[in-house]
Structure 1
Amino acid sequence: MIYVYIAFFALIIAYFTARYGKTAEEEIRQTIWRFLGIETGCLAVQLLTGRWLLTGFGVAAGLWLIYLTLNNPGDYTDSMTGLFDKQYFDKWIGEKIYRKDSFHLLAVDACNMKQLNRIYGTSAGDQLLIQLAKGIQEITGSLQVFRVTGNSFLVVLDSLSDYEKARDEIREFLKKPFHIGKENVTLHAAICGIMNAEKMEKEDILLAYIEYMGSLSQNTEETVLIQSDSRLLEGFRYEQEVEHFLRKAVEEDLFEVYYQPVYSIKKQSFITLEALSRLKHPTLGMIPPDVFIGIAEKQGLISEVGKLQLRRVCCFIKEHEYIMQNIWNVKFNLSPSELMKPGYSRVLIGIIQEYGLNPAYFQFEITETVATEYSESFCTAIEDFAEAGIHMCLDDFGSGYANLNAVLRIPFSAVKMDRSLLMNVCTDKQAALFYHSIVMTMQHMGYKVIAEGAETEEEVKLLEKWGVDMIQGYYFSKPLDKKKLLEKIS
């Protein structure tokens, strides 16, 4: 009898290892040991009593246990959609990569779920995700569908023809409306495709690459298809190298600060500066600020970067405090995650006080996005800055997020017009009228208006005509290192 069990169990292990990988194999092994435990117990009772025939019961109980194991993934199932979860994906895909199996991957990320949750509520949003999960599974007809994050799904396909068919059908599926009660809504998604995904070699790198591809479609207002190619892969590897270097840069304080002077039309001179972070890689050269700042925010390092940079600015001002006789303030950018962190405002104020500087030398800039995302920590930070004498400036006004209500609720002393608003003002009367009307409105409300991005004499003349207070742009100066800045403003 024991040989029959061994052969039976060996077949079970071989089948499920081939079909689902080591994750299934391990679960089956554990279940078989439980099976043998039940059968051994029953056999022992039978030998002791000599009357109760329990081996048949043991076999039945063990087979029932195996059935439950195969039909109830348990810890590896997403409770809302019924799909496998990220934990199972990590184990399962790791086994496929280890075996060097060829496979193709489709990722579907519902980009506008945050907006839909805000409009219809999270319960309705959950129903949308369930509809999306069901649709993907029906299209692919595959068990190899995973929910890896709140709004993201992965599909693993073994053949190229299945991959192309699923890609096209999912794209068509997302063009159709989804239903919330009697309402029809549209899901905007990023469909990211990777052919021969086993070449990524590690599951964490594969997931990071998918996340990178998805980030390229942020703020999309339609469903987009992003397919991996050599250019995208090169961009991903570049970002990975920057990410690796960033931690070293924080530990060793390898950042620099450049300063862009801001010109006053009334005084005909530079009256304020904006401090800008710069980072140079030993082989890649200067890394674009939006790249390393975005990575720092993602890694949770942005507050450390902010503190390092503020110390550099404080040190510069302390060493050249005489320049503050003509310079009103130095503008310093704050990220959303910094402002939302409880107590961080007091840390920044403490750094300024540590250098014995007047807090009025500083003006903290926040973007439109931050201005519209209120929280208790944010409000406390604004109050702390006002109490210390630090002024606030709204950056990138007009880039598409904020409104006048956001401006009115925060005690800004200056508003910086986004450079995108300057496009075509010299050739388009409507664009010029729009820009001029915003300037007049802001000034009437008591704000100083800074025009950002001026590069031509024609633009500068228009801004002077409209009575803009200050101009920041390449026409007057690019961002400069400390030495060149002192030569420029002296």
Structure 2
Amino acid sequence: MKRRCIMKDINITDIKEKLDKNIKKNQNLKGKVKLATKVFENAIEGIVITDKNAFIEWANPAFTKITGYTVEEVIGKKPSILKSNKHNKDFYKKMWHALINEGKWAGEIWNRRRNGEAYPEWLTIMAVKDEYGNTTKYISVFNDLTKLKRNEDDLNYKTYYDALTDLPNRLLYTDRLKDSIHIAKENDNKVAVMFLDIDDFKKVNEGLGHIIGDVLLKKVAERLNSVVKKGNTVARMSGDEFMILCPSYKNEQSIINEVNKILKVFNDPFDVEEHKVYITASIGISLYPEDGVDSNTLIKNAHSAMYKSKEYSGKKYTWYRPNMNKKAEERLILENDMQYALINEEFSLYYQPKVDSKTNKIVSLEALIRWNHPTKGMISPGAFIPVAEESGFILLLGEWILKKACKDIKEINEKVKSKITVSVNLSAKQFESNNILNTVDLAIDDAKIKPNLLDLEVTETTAMKNERNAFNIMNELKNRGMSLSIDDFGTGYSSLNYLKRVPSNTIKIDKSFIDNIAIKKCDATIVKSLITMCHSLGKNVVAEGVETKEQLEMLKEFGCNQIQGYIYAPPLPLEEIKEMIIKQE
């Protein structure tokens, strides 16, 4: 009896332990199920579980958020309700082949939301198999790629399109040109490349501001896009430079027709805010295969031709010719050499005296730039000044000339008793820059001279451009104590009324009027009348380019105040002109 009781106790204990283990196991299993459910419900990925026949049994909240379908709407249906029709049968055939043979498929797929919107997703499908290897369910996990695709599109747009004008940029233009060359090579076609540059666009930015300039560029882009032939590409390269690609054309006349359409858009003014802006453009054209067989060469050659258009007055487009590159290379070398010349002190100032017609004494000097190149020797100002003007280097060079002339005139005045002034030519770009007043002030302060020792010469043509602005600057300079001269007077189209209004101290009569006064009565009459008028307006008169005694005597007789020219001296280095002034005293 006792033995049986003990056996029963042992059995009960074993059973209890087993029950405890099972309870714990069930609790762990429930915990895992609960955890798995929580993960599924809170996952940002959409999750769908189907049976072996692909009928939906369950979906998580993320599925609803992404697709717009509730779980109740899709249970018992197949995932094909999401089908976008963007993929063909072969796509789905390959998907099922992978699932059946490998138990897994992953890839990018386009599906459709409940609202009809197609969207991209990254989908992974896994087959769930039992212990016998039979598929019992499929689990699908997917991520919505819409935002990622949008970011990719934005990045792609920023890479290939110009942010200001929405036109293709240099990179996309070059890609399209390469494709066009490849196609043309296979089909024996021809390709045309046009390089367009807006003339004097910098003046728009300086005069009206960069915001107006940007709006103008957008309007130019719109007009260009509206007139080019369908299939041609308009691109913005940089700044005010545009390019047009004609991937195929019949003959040169068809290109001329396209160019004329493009140039015509500049006939009418551009309405930019309250301004009506008139601009022109210059175009260079290169052709495949005649002018190059690769994109870089064709673009470079069209660029060279465009610059040639700017040189030809009134001609707005130019075909590329082989000798243009040589000139472009020479120009580039000259631009680089000028930069080095300024650093290496290859530039110097020569001075030509202006002589008082009554006392025959030097009263002023005109500063003239000279360049002694280490290998080419003396380079004529006529060869490098226009290049400096076009490239913008004239601003740096002009600043150097101002500073050097102010220091030199201080040195001269310290050696002599009489007051000697110096005249410095202001280039059109200098005069039109926003910084001209500051540049002049710094030169005077740096040399520690009085402003009345400096005379600034501006050509008649420069002073007539944007008259109101020009006169404001001239008055500001006069108010600072400097004197102003109108250079090359008579070569422009100024009127007597203009002569009356221009705020200058001095008028310089151009050499072209002086040359024939001794042999042509009409020229002598013009010069005499001009001197008389200037005096009546309280202006000093200087005659330029005086070379003969006859010219000198007539000018003295007409009452010309100062004489400048080879009759007295050519432009001389500082030491020689200094010695000349000292000797006269």
Given the two structures, how large is their TM-score scaled by the length of structure 1? 0.67
Letter in 2 for 1:331: S
Displacement after TM superposition at 1:199 (Å): 7.4
What does residue 156 of structure 1 align with?
245
Whether 1:106 and 2:194 are equivalent positions in the alignment is: yes
Displacement after TM superposition at 1:246 (Å): 2.1
Whether 1:41 and 2:121 are equivalent positions in the alignment is: yes
Distance of aligned partners of 1:458 and 1:152 in 2 relative to their CA distance in 1, 3 Å threshold = farther
What does residue 445 of structure 2 align with?
350
1:396-423 CA distance string (max 9 Å, x none): 3333266667666664221223344557
Displacement after TM superposition at 1:248 (Å): 1.8
Whether 1:383 and 2:468 are equivalent positions in the alignment is: no
Write out aligned runs for 1:12-161 (5 A). 41-44=121-124, 76=161, 84-86=168-170, 88-89=172-173, 104-109=192-197, 111=199, 131=223, 134-135=226-227, 137-138=228-229, 141-148=230-237, 153-157=242-246
Displacement after TM superposition at 1:277 (Å): 1.3
What does residue 333 of structure 2 align with?
241
Write out aligned runs for 1:17-416 (5 A). 41-44=121-124, 76=161, 84-86=168-170, 88-89=172-173, 104-109=192-197, 111=199, 131=223, 134-135=226-227, 137-138=228-229, 141-148=230-237, 153-157=242-246, 162-163=251-252, 165-167=254-256, 170-171=259-260, 178=267, 190-195=282-287, 196-197=291-292, 201=296, 209-210=304-305, 212-217=307-312, 220=313, 222-289=314-381, 291-296=383-388, 301-321=393-413, 324-326=416-418, 328-339=420-431, 340-341=434-435, 343-353=438-448, 357-371=449-463, 372-373=465-466, 379=472, 383=476, 386-387=479-480, 389-400=481-492, 411-416=503-508
Structure 1: gaps (5+ residues): 6-31
RMSD in angstroms over aligned alpha carbons?
Answer: 5.5
Tell me the distance in 1 between the aligned counterparts of 2:182 and 2:546.
Answer: 55
Displacement after TM superposition at 1:325 (Å): 3.8
What does residue 17 of structure 1 align with?
none
1:148-183 CA distance string (max 9 Å, x none): 4676543334678645641366358858995679xx
Displacement after TM superposition at 1:441 (Å): 1.9
Whether 1:473 and 2:568 are equivalent positions in the alignment is: no
1:397-452 CA distance string (max 9 Å, x none): 33326666766666422122334455766676665554443332222111111122
Tell me the distance in 2 between the aligned counterparts of 1:193 and 1:446.
Answer: 53
Letter in 2 for 1:76: Y
Displacement after TM superposition at 1:281 (Å): 2.4
Displacement after TM superposition at 1:347 (Å): 0.7
Tell me the distance in 2 between the aligned counterparts of 1:396 and 1:319.
Answer: 29
Letter in 1 for 2:193: L
Displacement after TM superposition at 1:288 (Å): 3.5
1:93-145 CA distance string (max 9 Å, x none): 68989999895433345659999999xx999998787556544x13xx54233
Which structure has more helix as a fraction of its residues?
1
Tell me the distance in 2 between the aligned counterparts of 1:237 and 1:273.
Answer: 36
Question: Is the 8 Å Cα contact of residues 457 and 486 (structure 2) preserved in structure 1?
Answer: yes
Distance of aligned partners of 1:321 and 1:91 in 2 relative to their CA distance in 1, 3 Å threshold = farther
Letter in 2 for 1:281: H
Letter in 2 for 1:347: L
Aligned residue for 2:235, secondary structure, equals strand
Question: Is the 8 Å Cα contact of residues 436 and 466 (structure 1) preserved in structure 2?
Answer: yes
Given the two structures, how large is their TM-score scaled by the length of structure 2? 0.58
Question: Is the 8 Å Cα contact of residues 413 and 448 (structure 1) preserved in structure 2?
Answer: yes
Question: Is the 8 Å Cα contact of residues 104 and 197 (structure 1) preserved in structure 2?
Answer: no
Distance of aligned partners of 1:176 and 1:375 in 2 relative to their CA distance in 1, 3 Å threshold = closer
Letter in 2 for 1:166: I
Structure 2: gaps (5+ residues): 1-86, 92-106, 112-117, 129-136, 271-276
Write out aligned runs for 1:437-452 (5 A). 437-452=529-544
Aligned residue for 2:121, secondary structure, equals helix
Question: Is the 8 Å Cα contact of residues 543 and 562 (structure 2) preserved in structure 1?
Answer: yes
Displacement after TM superposition at 1:274 (Å): 0.4
Residue identity over aligned pairs, in percent, reads 23
Aligned residue for 1:253, secondary structure, equals coil
* Higher relative contact order, chain-length normalized (CA < 8 Å, sep 6+): 1
